[in-house]
Structures are given as structure tokens and as C-alpha cells.
Amino acid sequence: MKVIIGVLLAAVLVLTSCSFTSITGGTVASDACSDLQGAAKDNCYFEELKCSKIENTQFRDSCVAELAKTKNDFAVCDLIVTSRTRGFCQEQIALQNDDIAICKDIMDEYWQDNCYYHLAVKAEDYKLCANILEVSRNIGCVKKIAIDTNNVELCEERLGPEDRAECIYKIATETLDAELCNKFDNQVNVDSCRYKIAKLSGDEELCQGIKIDEIKRTCEDHFAQK
């Protein structure tokens, strides 16, 4: 009888030991990152998107942002501590889903503006730029769409003098449309625009339409050297 009891006790101890090891320790509970130290350990957990195990707060927030993108889950961004990183995370989900409605739920103003900017430009809809609060970013949004769509009327109607001139110049030189140069307010800009298009297009005859002598000679010299 004593022998039987001894065998049973030994079996219980072995089973208990195995169960304890499998739950709490040994090679079963450890992972590939646990033996590393400092930044190397955090980097390892970042690569595996085990964000909760990262000690550095900012790095953990970046990990959560990447996790949210992977899961395509806006709610995951709420786990981020830093407001700026949280805004970035939310903006990334909006862009990933091409969903401008998400932009309004971004509390960080910079990333909210960024969200509206990128989706407005992607949609080539200048009216969406009106949602952007920061003035220069708002103007830049309209100008970008005007240039991308070769919409000279948009340059003229929606932009101030300096931005308007840059917008028209870019469209004129991209489309090689010398007639657009006549839309500038002063002759220097008109002739500089014609000279630029003459060089880009290889059309020497455009030099003859330049009125300022110095710019005209520069244009003619350009072709004379060829």
C-alpha cells in the first residue's frame, strides 16, 4: 500500500510541475524578445506589434499606431497616450479607408488639417479644402488641386496675387501653353514665362514674342548655342 501511495504522489508532483511550467515559466511562456535589453527589446516587440510590452512610452505609441493601421481599426488609436501621435494614427486610418468623415473626429488640429488636405487633393475637390483651419495649408490645398488639374480658372478665382502667379506659371510650363503667360500682371513675368516654355518645348519662335530686350536676347542666345 505504501508503495502505491508513493507512486501516486510522485505522479502528482510531476504533473503539477509540468502544468506550472507551461503556464508561468520556462521556454513555453518566454518569447523571442524577452531576453533582450533596452532599445533592442523594444524594437523586437515593435516588429512583432506586441505594443503593451514596450517600455518606452513614445515608442509604444508608435507601435500602437502601426497596430491600428494593420487592424484598420480607428478605435485602437484611442490607446495612444500622446495626443499628437494619436492624431497621426487617426489620420492614417482615414487615408487608408479614403474616408473624409473620419477627419472630423481627429482632435489634433494639425493632423485634422492634414487629413482634409490629403483627401481633398486625392479627390481633386477644392471645396473640401474649406475644412482646413490653418490658412496657408488651406490655400496650399486649393493651389495643389488647381495645378494637378491644370485649372487656371481656379488659380485666378481662389488665390491671392502671389499664389495665383505661381499657380498659373506652373500650369503654363507644365502644359507648354504660352498663351497662359499673358495672364500675368507685369511684362517681366510674361516674358520669363515665354522664355521658360521656349526652352522646354524647343520652340525658338517663342523668343520673338518676348518684349523685354534682355530676356529676348537670353532666349535667342539659348538656341544659338545649340
Position 34 scores a pLDDT of 81
Cα separation, 145 vs 163, whole angstroms: 13
- Residue 153 half-sphere exposure, CB side, CA atoms within 13 Å? 1
pTM of the entire predicted model: 0.79
Position 107 scores a pLDDT of 93
Length of the chain: 226
Contacts of 169 (CB under 8 A, 6+ apart): 184, 189, 193, 196
pLDDT 10s digits, 4-20? 434 333 443 333 343 33
Cα separation, 64 vs 42, whole angstroms: 13
Average the pLDDT over 83-91 and give the result. 97
pLDDT 10s digits, 107-151? 999 999 999 999 999 999 999 999 999 999 999 999 999 999 999
Whether pLDDT at 207 is above 80: yes
Cα separation, 193 vs 177, whole angstroms: 10
- Residue 147 half-sphere exposure, CB side, CA atoms within 13 Å? 17
Cα separation, 38 vs 161, whole angstroms: 54
Position 12 scores a pLDDT of 36
pLDDT 10s digits, 25-48? 333 345 788 878 888 888 898 898
Q: CB–CB of 108/86 below 8 Å?
A: yes
pLDDT averaged over every residue in the chain: 87
Largest CA distance in the chain: 120
